[in-house]
Amino acid sequence: MKNRLSTLFSFVILVVFVSCNSAPLMTDMEEWDMVWISDSSGWGVAEVYAAMVEEDTGIKVNVNDFWMDSLSAGEVYNTLKGEKTSRFKLTQLIDLIPEAELIVFFANPINSVESNARSDWNCTGGNNYVNICQDFELYKNHLEGIYQIIFELRGGQATIVRAYDAYNPLIADFHKQGVYEDCKACWADLNAAIHQAADNYNIPVAEVSKAWNGSNWDMDPVVSGYTKDGIHPNELGAKVIAQAIRELGYKPVKP
């Protein structure tokens, strides 16, 4: 009897382990609803990525493209919590996420700074400088809060969630202004926060920073021909971003 109970107990543990750490690939579905959430770094990428998904899976992808200029994690987080926002479109996420089998997310840290924080830097254009890099702890907290709400809204349904980290198109300007090393360090901290927050929810992160800026952050994406205006992705740049996300595959996330 003892051996039989031991075997049964082991079997129960195995079933629970497999149930908690695996998820169906959802390839038996005819359609996926996709919600793409990003700032302007994702301008024009959603449709390109959706076409790649359809090619890879044979599943029709219905695109809800929510790229918005200067979209920040703080704004997304507060909106998902039900707070008021000047962007009505953003409020639609609360209704769309519960129906979305595929969600891609990126938002910047501009509204994720404590009111009393010692932060004095700019590496996003114009007068670039670094006196004190931002502490990205609140940014990481906002990202984690967004992921938590996404999974709550999905209510336990299998969901493919993907994130991507931040490229920077201003490498040449940083060299000219003598702030390359300082901005490189701050940008590394920013992307580390993105990866840490996603890792805490088992969300794969596409290394768009590496695809656009190289492993050593020394590749100029403008010279590479990835931008249409020196900042935002053109058709080639969009393909590079989409391909980086595509390479993460389509396994649902179990947070």
Say whether pLDDT at 21 is over 80: no
- Given a contact cutoff of 8 angstroms between Cβ atoms, the answer to whether 253 and 156 are in contact is no
Domains of the chain from N-terminus onward: 29-112+139-167+185-246 (3.40.50.1110)
Question: Quick one: pLDDT at residue 3?
Answer: 46
Per-residue pLDDT tens digits for 207-223: 999 999 999 999 999 99
Say whether pLDDT at 17 is over 80: no
Q: Are strands 31-38 and 102-105 parallel, antiparallel or unpaired?
A: parallel
**Contacting residues for 87 by C-beta, under 8 A, at least 6 apart:** 68, 75, 79
Count of residues for the chain?
255
Measured on CA atoms in the order 182, 184, 187, 188, is the torsion positive or negative? negative
Residue range 136-150: mean pLDDT, rounded = 98
Question: Quick one: pLDDT at residue 24?
Answer: 56
- Mean of all residue pLDDT scores within the chain: 91
Long-range CB contacts (< 8 A, 24+ apart) of 19-26? 20/254, 21/254, 22/254, 23/158, 23/251, 23/252, 23/253, 23/254, 24/158, 24/252, 25/250, 25/251, 25/252, 26/101, 26/158, 26/160, 26/250, 26/252
How far is the C-alpha of 62 from the C-alpha of 143, rounded, in Å?
25
Q: Read off the pLDDT band of 7 (50, 70, 90).
A: very low
How far is the C-alpha of 100 from the C-alpha of 228, rounded, in Å?
30
- Given a contact cutoff of 8 angstroms between Cβ atoms, the answer to whether 134 and 76 are in contact is no
Tokens 């959706």 sit on residue: 50
Residue with more model confidence, 21 or 28: 28
Per-residue pLDDT tens digits for 100-109: 999 999 999 9
Say whether pLDDT at 120 is over 70: yes
Q: Provide, rounded to the nearest whole percent, the portion of the chain with pLDDT above 70.
A: 91
How far is the C-alpha of 138 from the C-alpha of 222, rounded, in Å?
31
| CA–CA–CA angle 93, 53, 158 (5° rounding) | 55
How far is the C-alpha of 241 from the C-alpha of 48, rounded, in Å?
9
